[in-house]
């Protein structure tokens, strides 16, 4: 028991949410990966691979949550340039060689291992924005005038590079950055002006996309036809009789809706999905539809509650922080994970256009799973810091000396709280 306590340190609720999502992932990926089983002829291969990835992910969580949160400020110094170079490289290679998967160049390989640089870029941007917001809050309006400019430049570069091949990820990342700026007390005038500017750019972009001919070779608009079909398909509310509905034209949407419509309150039971054999990317982009089909409305609602619970818990951890950086970091990570989950679930139930966003910590994946596990580890690292703060306050209220506090605290407070020599002292939230 003591060994487990030493390994699984940090906020227990975050651990519970994480492990529950991993358990749901193993069960549902095993069921939803039937198409992979058929293609490979290996019944246990896909789930074995996924289980290994999740186990490595747990190791990543354990490693990350044992790192003092201050060290995360160093990550963007190497993650940002590496991810920017890789994103530019795969985009350039995609244009030169036309080597794309499902019409997009998003993957690269290192020593035979494929990964998506956009996942590294998301981590770099969130940490960097949290750092800038925490270090620059010294103006009269709660922020340094240069903060807004720095955030737009650094996040804009990455979002542009991601958006060329994966617009939904770029848009989601920038929305998270915008929310972090709102939380970080960026001036209202700047945020409203930015929103108006983005609205105009968005309107112009939609007009251009709708006007671009099919299969265009215009640079940066090679995915325009895909974006156009998704927008027009989602906006089209024309009633089509079931007998005339072309299920092959919109196969993903059709089979996802069939999966949800044929479920009930408790579902068909784990492993009893029918639409998994027909639904493309059932183990990834549309796994939420399979969850509802097998676990019913109750199971789907439970998954939604887990993500909302994660956001609420992250908010409580952020409120306990006495320093700005860990608070902004936790909220940025939580907003990223939960917003991606909500987008995935909205697409599965027909409330949004198809985006290709996997369900964090549940969908089958590699790079994304590792990065999401690292995000969970970061939240747990900050929770250790807040737990040490609470322990310190509690012991101080009991009249113990500071040196006694450092010796008796349940968490290694000397390591967590007294690392001021490593980095400059951050601006207090109070």
The pair of three-digit structure tokens given for residue 341, joined into one six-digit string: 């989950």
* Backbone φ, ψ for residue 119 (5° rounding): -70, -40
Decide if 324 contacts 133 (C-beta within 8 A): yes
The 8-class DSSP code of residue 424 comes to: P
Query: What average pLDDT does range 282-286 have in this prediction?
Result: 84
CB 427 within 8 A of CB 134: yes
Q: Is the pLDDT of residue 222 over 60?
A: no
% of the chain exceeding 90 in pLDDT: 38
The residue-averaged pLDDT of 25-47 equals: 77
State how far the Cα of 159 lies from the Cα of 153, in Å rounded to an integer. 10
Averaged pLDDT score across all residues of the chain: 80
CA angle 46, 51, 57 (to 5 degrees): 130
Rounded Cα gap, residues 329 and 364, in angstroms: 26
According to the model, what pLDDT value does residue 258 have? 87
Please tell me the distance from the alpha carbon of residue 267 to that of residue 262, in angstroms, as a whole number.
8
Residues 6+ apart with CB under 8 A from 77: none
Domain borders along the chain are 2-387
Mean pLDDT: which of 92-106, 119-133, 155-169, 184-198 is highest?
119-133
Task: With a cut of 60, say whether residue 410 has pLDDT above it.
Answer: no
> Cα separation of 8 and 377, whole Å?
10
Return d(Cα 430, Cα 420) in angstroms, integer.
18
Would the pLDDT of 427 be above 50?
no
Q: How far apart are the first and last CA of the chain?
A: 38
Tell me how far apart the alpha carbons of residues 112 and 107 are, in angstroms, rounded to a whole number.
Answer: 12
- pLDDT one-digit tens code per residue, 185-220: 888 899 999 999 989 988 887 777 767 666 656 555
**pLDDT tens profile 350-375:** 888 888 788 999 998 788 899 999 99
Helix H or strand E segment including 24: helix 12-32
Q: Are 360 and 119 in contact (CB under 8 A)?
A: no
């Amino acid at each position: 028991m003591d060994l487990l306590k030493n390994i699984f340190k940090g906020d227990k609720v975050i651990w519970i949410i994480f492990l529950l999502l991993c358990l749901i992932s193993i069960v549902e990926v095993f069921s939803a990966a039937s198409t992979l089983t058929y293609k490979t002829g290996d019944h246990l291969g896909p789930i074995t691979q996924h289980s290994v990835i999740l186990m490595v992910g747990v190791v990543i969580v354990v490693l990350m949550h044992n790192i003092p949160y201050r060290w995360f400020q160093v990550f963007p110094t190497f993650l940002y340039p590496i991810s920017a170079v890789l994103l530019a490289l795969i985009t350039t290679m995609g244009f030169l060689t036309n080597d794309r998967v499902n019409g997009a160049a998003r993957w690269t390989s290192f020593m035979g291992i494929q990964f998506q640089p956009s996942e590294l870029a998301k981590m770099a941007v969130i940490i960097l924005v949290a750092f800038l917001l925490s270090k620059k809050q010294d103006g009269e309006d709660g922020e340094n005038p240069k903060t807004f400019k720095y955030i737009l430049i650094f996040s804009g570069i990455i979002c542009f590079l991601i958006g060329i091949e994966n617009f939904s990820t770029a848009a989601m990342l920038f929305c998270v950055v915008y929310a972090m700026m709102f939380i970080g007390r960026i001036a209202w005038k700047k945020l409203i002006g930015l929103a108006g500017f983005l609205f105009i750019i968005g309107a112009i972009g939609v007009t251009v996309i709708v006007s671009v001919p099919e299969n265009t070779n215009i640079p940066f608009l090679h995915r325009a036809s895909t974006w156009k079909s998704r927008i027009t398909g989602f906006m089209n509310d024309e009633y089509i009789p079931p007998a005339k509905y072309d299920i092959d034209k919109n196969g993903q949407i059709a089979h996802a809706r069939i999966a949800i419509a044929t479920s009930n309150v408790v579902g068909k039971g784990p492993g009893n999905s029918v639409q998994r054999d027909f639904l493309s990317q059932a183990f990834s982009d549309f796994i939420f539809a399979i969850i509802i089909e097998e676990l019913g409305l109750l199971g789907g609602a439970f998954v939604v509650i887990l993500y909302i619970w994660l956001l609420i818990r992250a908010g409580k951890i952020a409120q306990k922080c006495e320093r700005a950086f860990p608070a902004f970091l936790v909220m940025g990570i939580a907003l990223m994970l939960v917003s991606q989950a909500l987008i995935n679930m909205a697409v599965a139930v027909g409330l949004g256009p198809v985006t290709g966003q996997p369900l964090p910590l549940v969908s089958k994946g590699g790079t994304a799973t590792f990065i999401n596990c690292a995000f969970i580890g970061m939240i747990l690292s900050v929770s250790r810091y807040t737990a040490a703060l609470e322990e310190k306050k509690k012991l101080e209220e009991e009249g113990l000396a500071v040196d006694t506090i450092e010796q008796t605290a349940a968490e290694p407070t000397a390591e967590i709280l007294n690392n001021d020599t490593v980095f400059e002292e951050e601006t207090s939230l109070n």
